[in-house]
Each structure stands twice: as C-alpha cells, then as structure tokens.
Amino acid sequence: MAVDPPAVRPDGPIIIPDQAENDALLAPFNMEDHPQGGFHGLLEVIPTKADYILDLIRANSLWPLLSGLSCCAIEMMSTATSVNDIDRFGMFPFRASPRQADVLIVAGTLTTKMAGPLVRLWEQMPEPKWCVAMGTCTTSGGRFKRSYSVVQGVDRVMPVDVYVPGCPPRPEGLIYGMMKLHELVKQRRGEWSTFVDRGPQRTRWEGDVR
Amino acid sequence: MTTIDPETRIPDPIELDEAEEARLRAAAGLGPIPREGGEYAGFESVGIPDRPPQTDRERDVYTLNEGEMLINLGPQHPSTHGVMRLVVKVRGEVIVDIDPVLGYLHRGIEKLCENATYTTVLTYVDPMDYLSSMHNEHAPAIAFEKLYGIKAPPRAEYIRALVVELNRVFSHGLMMGFLALDMGGLTPILYSFINRDEVVDMLSAISGQRMLFNFFRLGGVNWDTNDEFLSRLGTWRSHVLDNVLMNERMITENEIFTTRTKGMGVLTGDEAISLGVTGPNLRASGVPFDIRKAHPYSIYNELEFDIITQESGDSYARYLQRIAEIKQSIHLIDQIIDKMPHGPVQAQVPGIIRPKPGRAYGAVESPRGLYSVYAISDGGPNPYRFRMRDPSFISLQALPKIMPGRLLADTMAVMASFDPVMGGVDK
Amino acid sequence: MEHVRRPRPTADALGRRCPLSAPAAAGSLVRLVTERLGSDLEHLWTDEDTVEFQVEAARAVDVLTTLRDDPDFDFFMLADEAAVDYGVGSHLEVVYHLFSWKHPAWLRVRARVDRADPRIGTVTHLWEGAMFHEREAYDMMGIVFEGNRDLRRIYMSPDYRSFPLRKDFILPDDAADSPAAGVNPLERPETWDLARFRDAPAVAVPAIGERGGPPPALESGETEADTSRPR
C-alpha cells in the first residue's frame, strides 16, 4: 500500500525556540535573578524539591576516580576495602576513566610534573564534580613544604571542596571527609554549585590544534 | 588444565604478511619491495614525545617501523603502583619496546634531608617506599649510627627487627593482592588489606602512626612495646598463617593466574645481577643474595633462617618467593619474640646530633630488595649528603629487557610481580 | 653509662659477631687492592665493614672493570652509584659501592670529577643497571657519563634547567617564594576578613558540671555533624 510522503509545509518547518537562556520564564518563581542563571534542576518547573532528591541521589552515589598518587592512596585503598568499607556509602566503584567519575580524591603528593596530567583529569570529569584534597601534601604541601618540585597544595591548580588533613589521614578521617562532602552536595555548597555554566571551557595547552 | 609452552612464540600477523608477500614476489620473480627507514614519531604525528630525541636510546624507542604504534600507559592508570608512565611501542598487541618515564612523584627528599637534622631525616624518609616505612628508616639509622659511633641497645635492635619483619609480612601480603588485582581478580586484595589493617593497627599501637611510622631514632627506637601491641601481636600471630594460606589457596592454583604468570617475564640470574635487581626478584631467579646473610646487620646473626630461592625466574616464581618469605618472616618473628631481652630501647644521645665528619653506608633488605643509604657528615647538625638507593627504581630497568615479545596485557602483570612502589622510585 | 658515644666495638657483651669482626678479613682485600690497583688509588681508608679509596675520573672505568672481571676481586654486583657535590669551590664525586662473595666488606670507589667539566666514563657496559643511576646523577648533579646511550633527565621534566642537588641550588626558606604563591586567597592576607571574628559573639560553652538540659538548638544552615565548634 503506497503511503503519500508528508506534505511540505508551505510556510516552512516548525521551529521550536530554545528557551535555555530565557530567564524571564523564571519570573513566576522569583528566580530570574538567581546567581546560577538559567534553568537548572531536574524538572524545570519545580527547581527545589526535585533538586533535593537529585542531590540526595548524587551524594549517596559518589564515584571516585582512581587518582592515588602516593602514600595516601594506600589509606584510600584501605578505606575502600573490607575493614573500613566505603561501599556502604555507595563509593565502591573507583572508576578508572575520568569520564565516569564524580569526585576526584587527590590522594598523595602532587608534583610539578604530575600537575599537568592531574588538571587534565579534572577537566575531563563532567559536571557535577567535586574535589577532595586528602592528606596534608594536597592541602598545603605538607611535609614537603620547601621542596622544589612539589605543588604547595592542590588548591593552587584546581578548586577543592573538602580538605582532609593527616599524614596520612586515618580511614575514619577520610570517611568523615566524605560525610562532609555529602553535606556539601546536599546543600549545594561545593565549588561546582557556584560554577556558572558559560559553555565548554578548557585550558589551552601548547600544541593544541584548535 | 591447559599448559602454555613458554617457548612458544606468538605469531606476528605483520610478519606473516611480509613472509607471504616475500614468497609471492619470489615466486613471481620480483625482488623484495624496497622499504625506507623507520619514521621518527615526532610531535606532529603522535604527540609522544613532545620534543626531538636527545639520546640514542630515545631515538630507537620513538622511531616507528611498519605497523608499530606508541601507546601511553599514562601516569594515571588503574594499576595500583602509583604514578608511572610507560610509553610502549607495540606492533599489534605484541610489545616491541618500553620506555618508562618517571618523576611524577619526585618530591626532592634528598635535598630536603640536607636541610634537616639527623632525627628529622628519619621522618623524611618514611614516604619514600611507603609500604615498607620501617625499612626506610632502618637504613639511615644504621648509617647514622655508624657515623656517630654508637650502637643501639639489644632490646632496641630486637624491636627493630620485629617491626621490620612485620612490615615485610604485610608488604608481601599486599603484593599478592596487587598482583591479583592487576590481573582483574578483585578478591585477594580485600584479604590482603584485612591482614594489612590488622598489622598496621598493631604497629600504630607501638609507634602511634598507621602508615608512615616515625618509629626509629638514632640509637634505638622511640617507644617500648606496650600491652596493646603485645596483645594484638598474639592475636594476629595465632591466625596469620591461616589467612595467608587462605589467600594463597585462592590464587596459587588458579588456572587463570598460573597461565598468566608461568613463563612470563623470565629473568635469568645473570641478567638480574647485571640489571641491579635485588631482593625477592633476584632470589626468584636463583641467586641466593640476601643482605641479612651477606652483610648482616642488627641481630640477624642470632636468628636462624635459610635463604630461599626459586629456579624459574618468572612471575610465578617471584610470587612463590614472596609467599615463602612471608612464612620465613613469621618464623623470624617467633624467634625474635622468644629471644627478646629486657633493657632500654634508646641510647642516650643529645638533642642535636653532630657526628664527626665522615662517610657511612647502611644497607638493609627491604621487601623490594637492597635498600641502602650513603650518608656524608661534615660535623654539623645536618647531613652533608644523604643518598638513598631504592630497589624499585633499579628493578624497573628489567621491564624493557623482558617484555619485548610479550603481549601488552602482560605488562601490568609482570610489573606487579616486581612489586615496585613509586614513592621509592621517584624519591 | 653503657650506651654513650664511643667507637663501635668488634664484639659486645652478648658475644655477637659483628660484621667483619676481624680486621684481618678486610685485610686481604686491602692487600689485593694495593697490589693490583696501587697506581690508581689514593687515600685508602678502611672501616670495620668498608674499604674505600679514591680514583681520578679518567681511571674509574678501568678500575671498575678490573674489580669486576678479576677473579680474585669478583665484585659482581654494583650496589649503588651515587653523585656527591663537595661545594662550590670543590669537586664533584661519583661513588660506587660494590659487593663480592669473596670479600666480606663493601668496597667504595670514589671517583673525583672536575666541577668545571663534569665528565666521567659510563659503566653501563659493565652493569646494565647503572643506567638509571647515571641518569639520576645527571639529572640531579649534571655529571655527564660518556658512552651512556640514554643520558637524559629522569626525575625532572626534560625542559628543567637546574641541577637540584648541587650545593648552589638553594631551597627557599619560605613557600611564599615558590611558584604559584598567592593563587589561593588563604595565602593573600589582603583578602582575609578578620572583622567577622572580631564582631562575632563569643560562644560560651558552660562547664561540664553546669550543663543542665539538652544542648542548644541548631542555628539555620548548620547540621549536627558539624563539629567546627563545641555545642
């Protein structure tokens, strides 16, 4: 049975306007001058209660990136294994790929040679993402304060949400830090929530083609 | 159970193609196709490396012939040894060459130690080989005591040997877990960490720290044993052999494990000595070299133990060697507990130690091999030169020698069997 | 007191054998070294478990080849190859530590290298494992090993321009001088808002004997998990 092809509309195709930047639509909710600007939230009609559920989901399923640099990595592994189980908080899968990870736990000393790859990893992580500086080396340089090749705190190269001091911090300490991160996620207090989306941004590296 | 003959060479598809092509051309009466030399893989083509080659070896590694490709096992990868970058030149799946790029964890510890007092140095060396911190502190303690002309009291020496052997037990246990983890087995690492957490809680009872124990002092150790340490030691000792055997049963007879480790990464004794490989890796290749017997230090003269070696020198032998050394260390711990004398645990030394000018060399047997410290004193409160020779750093040189011809997936397994720790590699 | 500073004895009260308890054990090595290498070595020095001598840089490789290949020496293992800087006006040194089954002493060979032109022959053809040692010595001290096929930096980035372990490379005393200092607002005093501490009311926590009922209620925005101040 032959079917007639759909008729071409005489006045052109229907164009549905993209309302992503139309802040006037938020007027009924008194949010047109919200600092985050633009629509946010799961259901763009009720941005508060569904967002609470979404934040709860995010907090209870934070997937860390395998970014263990040195000694703190062993304590991070100890936090992940049977005795101090972080799986009960949903954080068991330590993802190898940054594209699948939520939180970057920088565990270990950051050196100037490794700073480039680590920032690249951070940029490859999609939002929402958080950063936990584990150990004193990532908080402030730690015991390597005068060294010529240690970055004096990872907050010199990336935004940090939670600092967990210790050398190395006990697994209980790291779990406390992750609980603080849960608080941050649920209250939208972290560095990500204050990030205003201006489109794709990346650092320009030497030798980039475009 | 299938067995793989270690002598079997994996057929190289490109070589098969070339052989076929040569045969056809010869049958047709033509000569071989003239091929140009290899093309240098500069930044414009691959991005590795990012500057022209500076040395002959670099030129060899980064020059690509027909069908070859450079793969970057970058500083962040799921293998749990830390941050090391391996640039692997592969032809298909078969490795042609490896160039390890180090320095992603270089913290300048040697330079920091030149500006620190002798006691502070003993805290700086902890995060080097962070899985064997006690050994890291033992070698400088020996060197500094030689410089200062002092000996630790006998009870301190026994406590030192005790914590050092405990450290060796959990470090080798972790190696078993990491070896299985790098091959995809996620269970043995959990058992290893249970054992490690138990031992580390015990050591935190005596030194106050779970990991980077700041325990050794010049002339002894910091604290004496206490009730909690001894009670945890007794509890641990009563079930450690069962735990080790349980972990071992899970891995050793496992078909996947044996297929992936038997015949892989074979290192002969002469090669190993020439490359500077020491420790369990060297003993697994058949050379009975153990610093505890060759240049005895501490109280190892009074303890009875034999040097264990394996014959085959492959990954499986290195794994079996470490299990045997765990049992040997537990035997040593038993003897130490039996023979420990009473007495002080630290010699009387002043607050700031100023040894006479001189040079001293202290070597210990760490779980990775010969760990040594060469210290030069100029009479002042800080060491003039503090040099550490880390065994993992030197053992990494074995990788480009034994991996060509193997598959890419075996790289991680073989590297895990050498058990490098990047903190020591990069200092 | 028993354990005060004194020269190490050869055997202590417990009768333990110290390594090389008898100087005669090292004596054979000393004799051999002076016989075979007498023309090259300077400043022979021995300890209980170490024999040490110095050589010129030009003679180092020949001496080490003899030490490895001569069956009476048989120093088959290179334990360590270190680089030392003796100060701005002085020379550099490459220090080799060798091990042999036949001699119960460590042998230390100190090769003096000129500071202005720090060149010495490589030993990678004797021991392949010396490659990383020499790369590290070049990276940290700038000593060039002639004949080494792969002498490039190993720890620092390839474009690093200093030699960190030299004595004229001085670590800064203050991290404020390090690169990227002041990126973090916590490192910039002008961004600190001290008024919020001055004007905030003091939190008076009653002593334990005087605490009666339940702890005070949470203020807005606080959670019970927040232990930033006592409740």
Cis peptide before B75 (omega within 30 of 0): no
Residue B345 confidence (pLDDT): 93
Chain B residues with CB under 8 Å of C172 CB are: none
- A104's enclosing H/E stretch is strand A103-107
DSSP calls for B21-50:
HHHHHHHTT--PPP-PPPEE--TTTT-SSS
- Distance from the A161 Cα atom to the nearest Cα atom in chain B, whole angstroms: 22
pLDDT at residue A20, rounded to an integer: 54
Region A96-108 average pLDDT? 92
Chains touching chain C through at least 3 C-beta pairs below 8 angstroms are A, B
Q: Do B229 and B206 form a contact (C-beta atoms < 8 A)?
A: yes
DSSP annotation of B183 reads T
CATH assignment at residue B195 = 1.10.645.10
Please identify which residue in the block is written with the tokens 């390839």: C158
Residue C182's pLDDT is 66
Q: Note the ipTM here.
A: 0.86
Contact criterion met (CB < 8 Å) for C156 and A153: no
Q: Is B374 in the C-facing interface, judged by CB distances under 8 Å?
A: yes
Tell me the fold of C37-199. Beta Polymerase; domain 2 (3.30.460)
Check: CB of residue B256 under 8 Å from CB of residue B183.
yes
pLDDT of residue C6: 43
The DSSP call for residue B369 is: E
> B52: buried, middle or exposed (CB in 10 Å: 19+, 13-18, 0-12)?
exposed
Give the pLDDT of residue B164.
97
Q: What is the pLDDT of residues B298-353, one digit of tens each?
A: 899 999 999 999 999 999 999 999 999 999 999 999 999 999 999 999 998 888 89
**What residue segments make up the domains of chain C, in order of their start?**
37-199
The continuous run of DSSP H or E covering B237 comes out as: helix B227-252
Instruction: Indicate the pLDDT class of residue A201, thresholds 50, 70 and 90.
Output: very low
CA atoms within 13 A on the CB side of B298: 31
- The per-residue pLDDT for A196 is 45
Verify whether the Cβ–Cβ distance C225 to A148 is below 8 Å: no
Q: How far apart are CA B79 and CA A96, in angstroms?
A: 9
Any A CB within 8 A of C169 CB: yes
Among A66, A69, A174, pick the best mutation site for testing chain B contact (most B Cβ within 10 A): A69
Contacts of B187 (CB under 8 A, 6+ apart): B180, B250
- Is some CB atom of chain A closer than 8 A to the CB atom of C173? yes
Of A71, A77, A170, the CB nearest to B127: A71
Give buried/exposed letters for C196-221 (b at 16+ CB in 10 A, else e): eeeeeeeeeeeeeeeeeeeeeeeeee
Residue A48's pLDDT band, with cuts at 50, 70 and 90, is low
The answer to whether C218 faces chain A, any CB pair under 8 Å, is: no
Contact criterion met (CB < 8 Å) for C150 and B56: yes
Per CB-CB distance under 8 Å, the chain A contacts of C164 are 148-149
Q: How many CB pairs under 8 A join A and C?
A: 35
Determine the number of helices (DSSP H) and then strands (DSSP E) in chain A: 5, 3
Report the gap between the CA of A170 and the closest CA in chain B (Å): 8
Distance between CA atoms of B277 and B287, rounded to whole angstroms?
11
Write out the E strands in chain C.
42-46, 50-56, 77-85, 92-99, 106-113, 119-121, 144-146
Cβ contacts of A61 within 8 Å, gap of 6 or more: A90, A102
Q: Which of B136, B122, B77 is nearest to B104 (CA)?
A: B77
CA count, 13 A, side-chain hemisphere, B364:
24
Mean pLDDT of B29-35: 68
Residue in chain C closest to B148 (alpha carbons) equals C5
pLDDT tens across A152-195, in order?
888 888 888 999 999 999 999 999 999 999 988 887 777 665 54
- pLDDT cut 70: percent of chain B above it: 92
Q: Tell me the C-alpha distance between B355 and B146, whole Å.
A: 9
The whole-number pLDDT of residue A1 equals: 45
> Mutate which of B289, B385, B388, B401 to test chain C, going by most C C-beta atoms within 10 A?
B385
Helix (H) or strand (E) segment spanning residue B86: strand B85-91
Of A152, A180, A187, which is closest to C178 when you measure between CB atoms?
A: A152
For the beta carbon of residue B190, count every other beta carbon within 10 angstroms: 16
Beta strands B216-217 and B63-64, pairing class: unpaired
B47 pLDDT above the threshold of 90: no
Q: How does residue A34 score in pLDDT terms, banded at 50, 70 and 90? A: low
Q: Which helix (H) or strand (E) holds B424?
A: helix B422-426
Structural domain for B382, as ranges = 109-426
Chain C: residue whose CA lies nearest to A116: C157
**Torsional sign, CA B309, B315, B320, B321:** positive
C-alpha–C-alpha distance, residues A176 and B20, integer Å: 64
Contact A170 B210 (CB under 8 A): yes
Chains sharing 3 or more CB pairs under 8 A with chain A: B, C
- How confident is the model at residue A188, as a pLDDT? 73
CA angle A59/A60/A62 to nearest 5° reads 70
C-beta separation of B387 from B381 below 8 A:
no
pTM of the predicted structure, to 2 decimals: 0.81
pLDDT, tens digit, for every residue of B355-395?
999 999 999 999 999 999 999 999 999 999 999 999 999 99
Tokens read off for A43: 């259901």
Q: How confident is the model at residue A21 (pLDDT cuts 50, 70, 90)?
A: low
| Residue B13 included in any domain | no
What is the tally of structural domains in chain B? 1
Question: Which DSSP symbol is given to B254?
Answer: -
* Interface touch B148/C5, C-beta < 8 Å: yes
Cα diameter, chain C? 90
In this prediction, residue A210 has a pLDDT band, given cuts at 50, 70 and 90, of very low
**pLDDT(B154) > 60:** yes
Q: Does C170 touch chain B (CB under 8 A)?
A: no
Q: Which residue has the tokens 């372990």?
A: C165
Backbone angles phi, psi at B383, to 5 degrees: -70, 145
B–C CB contacts, 8 A cutoff, strictly below:
135
Is B262 a domain residue? yes
Q: Is the CB of residue B51 less than 8 Å away from at least one CB of chain A?
A: no
Task: For chain C, 231 residues long, give each residue's pLDDT as a single digit of tens.
Answer: 344 444 444 433 333 333 433 444 557 888 888 888 888 888 888 888 899 999 999 999 999 999 999 999 999 999 999 999 998 889 999 999 999 998 888 999 999 999 999 999 999 999 999 999 999 999 999 999 999 999 989 999 887 888 999 998 888 766 666 666 666 666 777 777 777 667 666 666 677 777 777 777 777 766 666 666 666
Q: Is A146 on the interface with B (CB under 8 A)?
A: yes
For B222-248, write each residue's pLDDT tens digit: 999 999 999 999 999 999 999 888 888
Per the structure block, which two tokens stand in for C181?
């200092």
pLDDT for B5 equals 61
| pLDDT tops 50 at residue B197 | yes
User: Which residues on chain C are in Cβ contact (under 8 Å) with A179?
Assistant: 225
Q: Is A40 exposed, middle or buried (CB count within 10 Å of its CB: 0-12, 13-18, 19+)? A: middle
Size of interface A-B (CB pairs under 8 A): 103
How far, in Å, CA of B308 to CA of B150, rounded?
A: 33
Spell out which residues of chain C touch residue A152, defining contact as CB-CB under 8 Å. Answer: 175, 178, 180-181
Coil vs helix vs strand at C172: coil
Q: Are B426 and C139 in contact (CB under 8 A)?
A: no
Residue B42 has pLDDT above 50, yes or no: no
A111 contacts in B (CB within 8 Å)?
A: 103-107, 426
Residue with more model confidence, B44 or C75 = C75
The dihedral formed by the CA atoms of B61, B63, B69 and B71, expressed in degrees to the nearest 10: 40
- Most A CBs within 10 A among C154, C166, C223, C226, hence the mutation to make, goes to C223
Residue B389 contacts C where some CB pair is shorter than 8 Å: yes
Average pLDDT (B3-7) is 59
Q: Is B317 inside a domain boundary? A: yes
Q: Phi/psi of residue A162, each to 5°?
A: -130, 135
Count of positions (residues) in chain C: 231
The DSSP code for C191 is G
Distance in Å, alpha carbon of C70 to nearest chain B alpha carbon: 16
Q: What is the pLDDT of residue B82?
A: 84
Given phi > 0 = left and psi -120 to 50 = alpha, else beta, which region is B313? left
Per-residue confidence (pLDDT) for residue B14, from 0 to 100? 64
Task: Specify the pLDDT at position B279.
Answer: 94
Q: Which of A194-203, B203-212, B395-404 has the lowest mean pLDDT?
A: A194-203
Q: What mean pLDDT is reported for chain B?
A: 89
Assess contact for B392 and B424: CB atoms under 8 A: yes
Q: Which amino acid type is present at position B353?
A: I
- CB count in 10 Å sphere of residue A192: 18
What single-letter DSSP state applies at residue B365?
Answer: E
